[in-house]
Amino acid sequence: MNRRNNIWAGVDWTVIALFLCLAIFGWLNIYGAGYTFEQSSIFSFSNRAGKQFVWLMGALVLGFCILLIDERTYDILGYWLYGATILLLLITPLLAHDIKGSLSWISFGPVSLQPAELAKCFTAIAVAKYMGRYGFTIRSWKDWIIPCTMVLLPMVIIMFLQRETGSALVFLAFLLPFYRQGMTGKIMGSGVLVILTFVLVMKLNLIPESVLNKVLQPHQLTRIEVLLGMKDDPTGAGYNVNQSLIAIGSGGWSGKGYLMGTQTKLKFVPEQDTDFIFCTVGEEWGFLGSIGVLLVYLWFILRLIKIAERQRDTFSHIYAYCVASIFLVHLTINIGMVLGLLPVIGIPLPMFSYGGSSLWGFTLLLFILLRMDASRINKLQ
Amino acid sequence: MINDRYYKRRYVIAGIAILVVLVYVVRLFILQVVDNTKSAKADSNALVRQVVYPSRGLIYDRNDSLLVFNQPIYEVLLVVKEMGASFDTLAFCHALHIDSVQFVERITQIRDKRRNRGYSPYTPQVFMGQLQKENVSLLQERLFQFPGVTIRQRTLRDYTYNAAAHLLGSVGEVNQRDLDRDSYYQQGDYSGRDGIERQYEQLLRGQKGVEVLMRDSRGRIRGSYHDGELDRTPVAGTDLHLSVDICLQQLAEQLLSEHIGSAVAIEPATGEVLALVSQPAWDPKTLVGRQRSKNYNALLNDEHKPLMNRAVQAQYPPGSTFKLLQTLVCLQEGGITPRTEYPCAGPASMPIKCTHNHGSPVDLLSAIEQSCNPYFWCAFRDMLQKDGYGTDNILFRHRYELWRNDILRFGLGQKFTDSDIPDQVSGSVPSTKLFDRLYGKKGWKAITIRSLSIGQGEILVTPLQLANQAACIANGGYYISPHLLHNDSSWDRHETGIQPSYFDLVKAGMLRVMTNGTGRWHNSPEWRMCGKTGTVQNPHGKDHAIFIGFAPQDDPKIAVAVVVENVGFGATWACPIATKMMRQYLQQHWPELKTQE
Of A180, A246, A263, the CB nearest to B10: A180
| Mean per-residue pLDDT of chain B | 87
Searching chain B, which residue's CA lies closest to the CA of residue A295?
A: B21
What φ, ψ does residue A321 adopt, rounded to 5°? -65, -40
Q: Which domain holds residue B540?
A: 246-298+312-587
Tell me, yes or no, if B38 comes closer than 8 A to chain A by beta carbon.
yes
Tell me the chain A residues in contact with residue B14 when contact means C-beta distances shorter than 8 Å.
302, 305
Write out chain A in H/E/C secondary structure. CCHHHHHHHHCCHHHHHHHHHHHHHHHHHHHHHHCCCCCCCCCCCCCHHHHHHHHHHHHHHHHHHHHHCCCHHHHHHHHHHHHHHHHHHHHHHHHCCCECCECCCEEECCEEECHHHHHHHHHHHHHHHHHHCCCCCCCCHHHHHHHHHHHHHHHHHHHHHCCCHHHHHHHHHHHHHHHHCCCCHHHHHHHHHHHHHHHHHHHCCCCCHHHHHHHCCHHHHHHHHHHCCCCCCCCCCCHHHHHHHHHHHCCCCCCCCCCCCHHHHCCCCCCCCCCCHHHHHHHHHHHHHHHHHHHHHHHHHHHHHHHHHCCCCHHHHHHHHHHHHHHHHHHHHHHHHHCCCCCCCCCCCCCCCCCHHHHHHHHHHHHHHHHHHHCHHHCCC
Searching chain B, which residue's CA lies closest to the CA of residue A311?
A: B1
Sheet holding B530-536, edge to edge: B272-279, B261-267, B558-564, B544-551, B530-536
Exposure string of B206-218, with b = 16+ CB inside 10 Å and e = fewer, is: bebeebbbbbbee
**Inter-chain contact B1–A314, Cβ cutoff 8 Å?**
yes
Q: What angle do CA B560, B562, B564 make, to 5 degrees?
A: 175
How many C-beta atoms lie closer than 10 Å to residue B2's C-beta?
A: 4
Tell me the chain B residues in contact with residue A301 when contact means C-beta distances shorter than 8 Å.
17
In a domain? residue B275: yes
What confidence category does residue A169 fall into, taking pLDDT thresholds of 50, 70 and 90?
Answer: confident
Question: In the predicted model, what is the mean pLDDT of residues B171-188?
Answer: 85
DSSP for residue B485: B
Q: Is the pLDDT of residue B347 over 70?
A: no
Interface test with A, best of B1, B3, B31, B35 (most A CBs within 10 A): B31
- The alpha-carbon gap from B113 to the nearest alpha carbon of chain A, in Å, equals 20
Q: Is the pLDDT of residue A258 over 90?
A: no
Write out B359-406 in H/E/C secondary structure. CCCECHHHHHHHCCHHHHHHHHHHHHCCCCCCHHHHHHHHHHHHHHHH
pLDDT for residue B2: 47
Searching chain B, which residue's CA lies closest to the CA of residue A287?
A: B32
Q: Regarding beta strands B209-215 and B221-224, do their DSSP bridges make them parallel or antiparallel, or are they unpaired?
A: antiparallel
**Inter-chain contact A328–B9, Cβ cutoff 8 Å?**
no
Question: In the predicted model, what is the mean pLDDT of residues A52-68?
Answer: 93
We report the CATH number of the domain holding residue B558 as 3.40.710.10
Tell me, yes or no, if B10 comes closer than 8 A to chain A by beta carbon.
yes
Tell me, yes or no, if B46 comes closer than 8 A to chain A by beta carbon.
yes
- The alpha-carbon gap from B44 to the nearest alpha carbon of chain A, in Å, equals 10
Tell me the chain A residues in contact with residue B39 when contact means C-beta distances shorter than 8 Å.
249-250, 252
Of A247, A263, A328, the CB nearest to B17: A328
* A340 vs B493: CA distance, rounded Å: 73
| Mean per-residue pLDDT of chain A | 84
What confidence category does residue A38 fall into, taking pLDDT thresholds of 50, 70 and 90?
Answer: low
B304-to-A27, B297, B389 alpha-carbon distances in Å: 79, 13, 46
- The alpha-carbon gap from A341 to the nearest alpha carbon of chain B, in Å, equals 9
Tell me, yes or no, if B225 comes closer than 8 A to chain A by beta carbon.
yes
* A298 vs A324: CA distance, rounded Å: 10
What confidence category does residue B3 fall into, taking pLDDT thresholds of 50, 70 and 90?
Answer: low
Tell me, yes or no, if B24 comes closer than 8 A to chain A by beta carbon.
yes
pLDDT for residue A5: 54
Of A176-190, A344-358, B354-368, the range with the highest mean pLDDT is: A344-358
Tell me, yes or no, if B33 comes closer than 8 A to chain A by beta carbon.
yes
- The alpha-carbon gap from B41 to the nearest alpha carbon of chain A, in Å, equals 7
Interface test with A, best of B6, B20, B29 (most A CBs within 10 A): B20
**Inter-chain contact A248–B45, Cβ cutoff 8 Å?**
no
* B152 vs B139: CA distance, rounded Å: 12
Question: In the predicted model, what is the mean pLDDT of residues B25-29?
Answer: 92
- Of A265, A156, A147, A332, which Cα lies nearest the Cα of B27? A332
Q: How many residues does chain B have?
A: 597
Of residues B247 and B3, which shows the higher confidence score?
B247
* A90 vs B275: CA distance, rounded Å: 97
Domains: count for chain B:
1
What confidence category does residue B253 fall into, taking pLDDT thresholds of 50, 70 and 90?
Answer: very high
pLDDT for residue A50: 87
The sign of the torsion formed by the CA atoms of A82, A87, A90, A92 equals negative
**Inter-chain contact B214–A266, Cβ cutoff 8 Å?**
yes
Burial of A250 (0-12, 13-18, 19+ CB in 10 A): buried
What confidence category does residue B48 fall into, taking pLDDT thresholds of 50, 70 and 90?
Answer: confident
Burial of A44 (0-12, 13-18, 19+ CB in 10 A): middle
**Inter-chain contact A243–B45, Cβ cutoff 8 Å?**
yes
For the ranges A90-94, A188-192, B484-488, the lowest mean pLDDT is seen at A188-192
Of A266, A308, A325, the CB nearest to B217: A266
- Of A140, A129, A43, A17, which Cα lies nearest the Cα of A80? A129
- The alpha-carbon gap from B92 to the nearest alpha carbon of chain A, in Å, equals 29
Tell me which H or E stretch contains B561.
Answer: strand B558-564
- The alpha-carbon gap from B75 to the nearest alpha carbon of chain A, in Å, equals 28
Tell me the chain A residues in contact with residue B36 when contact means C-beta distances shorter than 8 Å.
249, 252
Indicate the residue type of B324.
L
Q: Regarding beta strands B240-241 and B59-60, do their DSSP bridges make them parallel or antiparallel, or are they unpaired?
A: parallel
**Inter-chain contact B16–A297, Cβ cutoff 8 Å?**
no
Tell me, yes or no, if B23 comes closer than 8 A to chain A by beta carbon.
yes
Burial of B588 (0-12, 13-18, 19+ CB in 10 A): exposed
For the ranges A19-23, A160-164, B337-341, the lowest mean pLDDT is seen at A160-164
- Of B433, B451, B575, which Cα lies nearest the Cα of B518? B575
- The alpha-carbon gap from B235 to the nearest alpha carbon of chain A, in Å, equals 29
**Inter-chain contact A339–B32, Cβ cutoff 8 Å?**
no
**Chain centre to alpha carbon of residue B423:** 5
How many C-beta atoms lie closer than 10 Å to residue A187's C-beta?
A: 13
Whether A248 and B38 have beta carbons less than 8 Å apart is answered as yes
* A324 vs B142: CA distance, rounded Å: 61
B437-to-B80, B391, B490 alpha-carbon distances in Å: 66, 18, 41
* A343 vs A120: CA distance, rounded Å: 22
- The alpha-carbon gap from A68 to the nearest alpha carbon of chain B, in Å, equals 26
* B479 vs B410: CA distance, rounded Å: 8
Tell me the chain B residues in contact with residue A282 when contact means C-beta distances shorter than 8 Å.
28, 31-32
Searching chain B, which residue's CA lies closest to the CA of residue A251?
A: B32
Whether B90 and B100 have beta carbons less than 8 Å apart is answered as yes
Q: What is the dihedral of CA B478, B484, B486, B487, to 10 degrees?
A: -40
Tell me, yes or no, if B81 comes closer than 8 A to chain A by beta carbon.
no
Q: What is the DSSP string of B32-86?
A: III--HHHHHHHHHHEEEEEEPPPPPPEE-TT--EEEEEEEEEEEEE-HHHH-TT
* B349 vs B454: CA distance, rounded Å: 13
Per-residue model confidence as pLDDT tens digits over B113-151: 777 766 777 777 888 887 888 888 888 888 878 888 888
pLDDT for residue A1: 43
What confidence category does residue B544 fall into, taking pLDDT thresholds of 50, 70 and 90?
Answer: very high
- Of B568, B500, B565, B557, which Cα lies nearest the Cα of B530? B557
Whether B180 and B167 have beta carbons less than 8 Å apart is answered as no
Write out B273-299 in H/E/C secondary structure. EEEEEEECCCCHHHHCHHHHHHHHHHH
pLDDT for residue B597: 41
* A95 vs B137: CA distance, rounded Å: 56
Per-residue model confidence as pLDDT tens digits over B397-454: 999 999 999 999 999 999 998 899 989 999 999 999 999 999 988 888 888 898 898 8
In a domain? residue B172: no
Q: Is the pLDDT of residue B323 over 80?
A: yes
Under 8 Å CB pairs connecting chains A and B tally to 132
Interface test with B, best of A180, A239, A246, A269 (most B CBs within 10 A): A246
Q: Which residues contact A20 (CB under 8 A, 6 or more apart)?
A: none
What confidence category does residue B252 fall into, taking pLDDT thresholds of 50, 70 and 90?
Answer: very high
Q: What is the dihedral of CA A108, A110, A114, A118, to 10 degrees?
A: -70
pLDDT for residue B596: 46
- Its ipTM equals 0.90
**Inter-chain contact A297–B21, Cβ cutoff 8 Å?**
yes
**Inter-chain contact B9–A180, Cβ cutoff 8 Å?**
yes
Question: In the predicted model, what is the mean pLDDT of residues A359-376?
Answer: 92
- The alpha-carbon gap from B93 to the nearest alpha carbon of chain A, in Å, equals 31
Whether A181 and A131 have beta carbons less than 8 Å apart is answered as yes
Beta-bridged to residue B209, according to DSSP, are B52
* B469 vs B548: CA distance, rounded Å: 8
pLDDT for residue B317: 94
Of B39, B217, B223, the CB nearest to A268: B217
Tell me, yes or no, if B3 comes closer than 8 A to chain A by beta carbon.
no
Beta-bridged to residue B533, according to DSSP, are B547
Q: Strands, E, within B203-342: which ranges?
A: 209-215, 221-224, 240-241, 261-267, 272-279
Searching chain A, which residue's CA lies closest to the CA of residue B46?
A: A262
- The alpha-carbon gap from B39 to the nearest alpha carbon of chain A, in Å, equals 4
Q: Is the pLDDT of residue B34 over 90?
A: no
DSSP for residue B216: -
